[in-house]
Amino acid sequence: MKKIVLSGFALFAFFTFAAAQSPRIVNIVNFIRDIEPRDANITRDVLYQTVVNQIKLMKQYHLGGTFLLQYDALIDKRYQDLLKTLPKDEFEIGAWWELPQPLIEKAGIKWRGKYAWDWHSDVGFSVGYTPAEREKIIDVYFADFKKIFGSYPKSIASWVIDAHSLNYMYDKYKIVASANCKDQVGTDGFTLWGGYWNQAYYPSRVNAYMPAQHKDKQLPVPVFRMLGSDPIRQYADGRSVTTLEPVYTHAGGNEQWINWFFQAFTSDSSLGFNYTQAGQENSFTWDAMKQGLEWQMPIIARLEKEGKVRVETMAQSGAWFKKTYKVTPATTFTVSKDLGDSNKKTVWYNSRFYRLNLLWENGEMRITDIHLFNETIPDRYLKDVTTINQSFFYTLPVVDGFQWGKPGKPEGFRLMMDEDGRKVPVNGGDPIFTNVGKTTARATWPVENGSFIIEMSENSLKIEAKDSPGKDWFLDLYVVDGAKTAFKAVTAEGAQYEFDGHAYRLSATQGTIEKTGNGSLYRIKPKGQRIVLTLEDQ
């Protein structure tokens, strides 16, 4: 049984030191298609000129990056000639792993798509092909890539990549970095939910989305999370797209949002390292992304000059990650000041064992998310294929604020207290985020008559009242009416869960877990003003 305890120059020098201690890494990644059947106005010339303009803008601000080629673009001589002119010490050429007709047919497989590039999960992605077919497809791509560019690609990214493909690419071709889509539910047919939030992780050998807990079970290729998710809004509505992508005028195409995002990214507390991916797929066309990129690129260039960020290729970041971390590290992404008039604050904590999100709003705190990682659970497509226009990658939910709440209003554990027989939310001031060593993040939350100290470490989460807030306090787990949760029951051993056939539980090593029957699923009460919890696979 595995057990996890949830218990001027001076300025430049300062930021350079901070970046070395907790680097902020930016990958500018543009992936390239040569086919776009969804809009007759998006011709091959339009797609090509988009890449030309991306390169021009990056060179203007002396920014390197990564270009990932879908196979139809790989075999187009215009892209070959264009990309071969880029300085190899600044730019990287890699693979975008969507699978168009020319690649599938060259691998000796019958094409099932409606168009020469078909974006549906069962046709255009590796999860739609058998493991043996995937190997043939990989061999064709890698061989042709080497003929054209003289070496195999080091970086491979896609919205989703199955574990069998990723293993094969590493074992045979020694890739050094990969990337997959941000967490989302259902967008464009892709669900990735509950994984290592942002940054990067070493996946399980049997599950490309699931972080491994032990070195001997991990695939030693870091998987970076794409697109630069808004740490508050992207989660609060997991079907939305609120990211650094420059085509979205409420986010990466909005000057106010861009400035806010990079302020939080570079200035707020970060455990381990912080990461974001900028750039855009050429299918959106230059006209749609131009304004957003013209706002973003000078900001990234300035931050790099000031020593606040490192701009790297995916392969450079992958090599750094592997040199720095033997197993998946503990990291955080924090926001101490939200966008505009919002008073929300948040911290995302990840380790190789679990992820957790704390959210403050209007002076109240809740735990909106806890997901358990289990390296032994295979992804659904390790041996099987999807036959529908959807693919699903999950971890094990303990708290799932978005899925068990309302869009834009995630639910979860609320920190409550008893006031004259009534339960009311604890109310306090602004939390302060700090790091303790290399694996522990602390949120200190001042409240009336005291404070709460919340410590998140690689194998512990502890919530402790200091100087006594003066009232009985507890955590109640709330979900919206009718929510389909993984929670089953409270027993003597703790809160029992089951998801997708896997049983696990949340237990208290300090404190008690009990049924409530008053609107929440269950309650956790402290002992000696402290709560310490354990997550266990059964």
Q: Residue 452: give the domain boundaries.
A: 333-537
CA 55 remoteness from chain centre: 26
Query: What 8-state DSSP symbol labels residue 337?
Result: S
Residue linked to tokens 């003929």: 147
Which of 2-6, 45-49, 255-259, 278-282 shows the lowest per-residue confidence on average (mean pLDDT)? 2-6
Alpha-carbon distance of 294 to 213, in angstroms, equals: 41
Angle at 432 between CA 427 and CA 435, to 5 degrees: 140
Answer for the pair 186, 239: CB distance below 8 angstroms, yes or no: yes
Position 61 pLDDT exceeds 60: yes
- Residue 361 belongs to a domain: yes
Alpha-carbon distance of 64 to 507, in angstroms, equals: 48
Helices and strands (DSSP H and E) totals, the chain: 12, 32
In this structure, what is the dihedral angle of CA atoms 348, 352, 353, 359, given to the nearest 10 degrees?
A: 0
Task: Quickly state the pLDDT bin for 471 (edges 50, 70, 90).
Answer: confident
| Residue 351 β-bridge partners | none
- Residue 461 belongs to a domain: yes
pLDDT digits (tens, 9 = 90+) for 429-460: 999 999 999 999 999 999 988 999 999 989 88
The two structure tokens encoding residue 86:
């880029």
> What are the φ and ψ backbone dihedral angles of 297, each rounded to 5 degrees?
-60, -45
Q: Which sign does the torsion angle of CA 151, 78, 188, 66 carry?
A: positive
Provide the phi-psi class of 412: left if phi over 0, else alpha when psi is between -120 and 50, else beta: left
> In the Cβ-directed half-sphere of 226, how many Cα atoms lie within 13 Å?
25
- Residue 184 belongs to a domain: no
Q: Which residue has the higher pLDDT, 370 or 1?
A: 370
How many domains does the chain fold into?
1
Answer for the pair 120, 386: CB distance below 8 angstroms, yes or no: no
pLDDT on residue 534: 84
- Residue 530 belongs to a domain: yes
Percent above pLDDT 70 for the chain: 96
Position 11 pLDDT exceeds 70: no
pLDDT on residue 205: 98
pLDDT on residue 17: 41
Alpha-carbon distance of 163 to 328, in angstroms, equals: 17
- Give this prediction's pTM: 0.94
Three-class SS state of 275 = strand
Answer for the pair 192, 303: CB distance below 8 angstroms, yes or no: no
pLDDT on residue 238: 84
- 3-state per-residue secondary structure call for 478-495: ECCCCCCCCEEEEECCEE
- Residue 436 belongs to a domain: yes
CATH of the domain at 517: 2.70.98
Alpha-carbon distance of 203 to 426, in angstroms, equals: 38
Three-class SS state of 123 = helix
417, 397, 388: which is closest to 495 by C-alpha? Answer: 397
- Residue 366 belongs to a domain: yes
Three-class SS state of 294 = helix
| Residue 461 β-bridge partners | 456
Alpha-carbon distance of 18 to 232, in angstroms, equals: 24
The two structure tokens encoding residue 47:
């797609």
Query: What are the C-alpha distances in Å from 84 to residues 79, 93, 213, 280, 515?
Result: 8, 9, 40, 20, 64
- Residue 239 belongs to a domain: no
- Residue 256 belongs to a domain: no
